[in-house]
């Protein structure tokens, strides 16, 4: 079974896993720590602008299901992954 989540998810700012310091450094590089509260929200245009503003920088890449994306890694880029209902499913740097 690939990619099982074995750690707890804590969006409240605690330190649920031993690797938290590295994740925090990565999250700070692209702003996920500033916008994680929007996970689960529908990505309407007004919300997209609010997230881009809250992240505090560009680029922000919105990724819809099945959308092709480049494989270049940019630690400052905020990737926002959408589900089939246009809801924010995940966020990560890259």
The whole model's pTM is what?
A: 0.69
Sign of CA dihedral 74, 48, 41, 25: positive
Identify the structural domains of the chain with CATH numbers, from first to last.
Answer: 26-93 (3.30.10.10)
Q: Which percentage of the chain shows pLDDT scores above 90?
A: 64
pLDDT in tens, the chain (94 residues): 333 333 333 333 333 333 333 444 555 789 999 999 999 999 999 999 999 999 887 799 999 999 999 999 999 999 999 999 999 999 999 9
């Amino acid at each position: 079974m690939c990619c099982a989540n074995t750690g707890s998810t804590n969006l409240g700012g605690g330190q649920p896993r031993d690797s938290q310091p590295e994740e925090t450094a990565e999250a700070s590089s692209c702003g996920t720590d500033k916008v994680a509260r929007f996970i689960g929200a529908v990505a309407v245009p007004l919300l997209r602008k609010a997230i881009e503003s809250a992240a505090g920088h560009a680029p922000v890449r919105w990724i819809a299901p099945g959308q092709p994306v480049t494989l270049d890694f940019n630690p400052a880029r905020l990737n926002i992954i959408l589900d089939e209902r246009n809801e924010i499913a995940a966020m990560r740097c890259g």
